[in-house]
Chains A and B, each alone.
Chain A
């Protein structure tokens, strides 16, 4: 009975608010001709409808719960003056705006939309161009950033900002966004329980996605392509990375995915294609790599040391110049049931598992690790010959570093 009462009460309250909520229309020829005036005129929980047109405004502070909806993408032009929209209230929705010309500053991080210490916000269908920072979430919780398009024109790292930045945030969903040509596509710092899904982050100057000190985050089904340095995940715990595509991060200092000081992560079902280094691992422990595809990379996996009890299982390593590079003799990482395209063993009992172990570290890769200058002998006949002889009778490469049960056929084929 009490429950019903409560329900009815909420219902009534909700309607009361809904009835009270007015719609305010903003258009260049209306009595209210700017977004700023609109926000001032509105009461809590009102809806602001912004008609098509160009509004030259900046420093719009949204300090009450509002729904701001743009019709046919009205343009808000900051004229490079500074920050454009700052949200400092809970329950704000921003939908369908086209924001351009955010000011560039070397002392303040001007953003197109900034959310400060707020909850339950929703930013969707927004298009940002010519920006410094795009969507900047600061100490906020329980919000959504959905289906936005951020197209920057960053050329250098020092004078450009990030597409979507989360700083001390919790429980936020970042889904179906497109981020291009900014410094870091999506940047997380001190942010926990964040879901990053179905985003496309391409052609960024530095990283497609960048994690720092952020724990318990999930990112799935994202595409990271042709970014300056790929994706970097650093100093974070319990990150889940599922079904992402890391592609064409090609350059002398590029990689698909960089892991540094990452513990207890899951890396499942991702595709690493045509990267100089597929995954670069440093100081990462208890990470599980399962069902990933490594295709046509320079190095599929480069292990830089201090990596213990990692498991590589059911991955496909195909046509990489080097499958694995390893810089120590000690190994307690497990490789099993992977498919290696350069495996030449046989399977007499036809159980799908090769009878001879596969050694993923080539002698050349071992030598290059010791003396990096020797890489100039890449593709030399001599190297092919010694690689072959090492394969037949291993002497130099760590003898327990091998896949004891290599698959004969591609996993999941």
Chain B
């Protein structure tokens, strides 16, 4: 598996796209910090970008890579290698190269602007950790979609729909149910609804660490009581890990049974 991982990883490292991705984040980081020297404010702006862009790029990139390397995958399948090894190797190759671009691209400018000397370091590391989780989750989901759909157009369609659902539609439904059931106590419901969507969970985790959490008022206090404790943080990390694990598990399960 490591060999395939290494191959996929280097293949992507050599490809133009991961450089583009890396340079995009590098420029973004520098521009943000150039316009606004306040590290903690830059973290807020970055959060907005990360929770939207990282899942999108993870999804699109995962689907694209899977379809592109299909011939090579079929070649590998002819060899005496375990199937799960092939697919998991490719998956980890893609996800870790994307994560590396993200971490380096944002890390370099922030380190140069004195991240290690500022209080924002914990917020920033939380941002990168959730960014990495989101990459792994959405690349995994994308691989699953691609594996289940031979038709590329269909696969792309589902992948974009998945992103749209998680990033936008889910919040819409969430909002609607909050308004419809406004007569009832909604604290536990909104906590649960936030936990179930990795994008919402990442957003809330980061928001609560920042000054802006004061705007959340009473509801924020309930959230802070939960997420602010070690228990809440561990639960959220577990939820993120489960979110990462489910697509990986399904990937290896499906790939064993699929006819090529």
Contact = CB atoms under 8 A, between A and B. Distances in A.
Interface of A: 250-252, 254, 276, 298-299, 321, 367, 370-383, 385-386
B150 interface: no
B48 A254 contact: no
A371 B217 CA distance: 12
Contact of A375 (B171, B194, B217): B217
A317 B47 CA distance: 24
A373 B200 contact: no
B219 A372 contact: yes
A365 to B, nearest CB: 11
B205 to A, nearest CB: 12
B168 A381 contact: yes
A386 B48 CA distance: 16
- Ranked nearest first, the 3 interchain pairs of A and B with the lowest CB-CB distance are A382-B171, A298-B215, A371-B182
25 contacts: A250-B211, A252-B221, A254-B214, A276-B214, A298-B214, A298-B215, A321-B215, A367-B175, A370-B179, A371-B179, A371-B182, A372-B218, A372-B219, A373-B186, A373-B187, A373-B219, A376-B204, A376-B216, A378-B207, A378-B215, A379-B44, A379-B48, A382-B169, A382-B175, A383-B171
Contact of B52 (A254, A367, A381): A381
A372 B219 CA distance: 7
Contacts of A379: 44, 47-48, 203, 207, 212
Interface string B164-177: 00011101101100
B178 interface: yes
B61 interface: no
Contacts of B187: 373
Interface string B18-39: 0000000000000000000000
A379 B194 CA distance: 14
B139 to A, nearest CB: 20
Nearest to B182: A371
Given A250-B211, A373-B186, A385-B168, A378 B179 contact: no
Contacts of B168: 381-382, 385
Contact of B216 (A367, A371, A378): A378
Interface of B is mostly: helix
Interface in B188-225: 190, 194, 200, 203-204, 207, 211-212, 214-221, 223
Nearest to A250: B214
A76 B216 CA distance: 47
Given A376-B194, A376-B223, A379-B47, A276 B215 contact: yes
A252 B47 CA distance: 22
Contacts of B47: 379
A380 B200 contact: yes
Contacts of A382: 167-169, 171-172, 175
A375 B182 contact: no
Nearest to B174: A377
Interface in B27-65: 44, 47-48, 51-52
Given A372-B219, A376-B204, A252 B214 contact: yes
Given A373-B186, A376-B223, A380-B203, A252 B218 contact: yes
A370 B190 CA distance: 16
Nearest to A374: B178
A370 B182 contact: yes
B175 A374 contact: yes
Given A371-B178, A371-B179, A376-B223, A381 B217 contact: no
A251 B221 CA distance: 11
Contacts of A251: 214
Contacts of B215: 276, 298-299, 321, 375, 378
Nearest to B210: A379
Interface in B75-105: none
A385 B168 CA distance: 9
Residue among A370, A372, A373, A382 with the highest chain B CB neighbour number at 10 A: A373
Given A371-B178, A371-B179, A371-B182, A377 B171 contact: yes
Contact of B171 (A299, A321, A367, A380): A380
Contacts of B169: 382
Q: Which of B175, B187, B204, B221 has the most CB of A within 10 A?
A: B175
Given A375-B215, A375-B220, A376-B223, 9 more contacts: A250-B211, A276-B215, A298-B215, A367-B175, A373-B190, A375-B219, A378-B216, A379-B44, A381-B51
A332 to B, nearest CB: 28
Interface string B150-168: 0000000000000000011
A138 B93 CA distance: 77
A245 to B, nearest CB: 19
B141 to A, nearest CB: 18
Contacts of B190: 373, 376
Contact of B220 (A252, A381, A386): A252
A382 B211 CA distance: 22
Nearest to B223: A376
Interface string B217-238: 1111101000000000000000
A373 B168 CA distance: 18
Contacts of B217: 252, 372, 375
Contacts of B174: 377
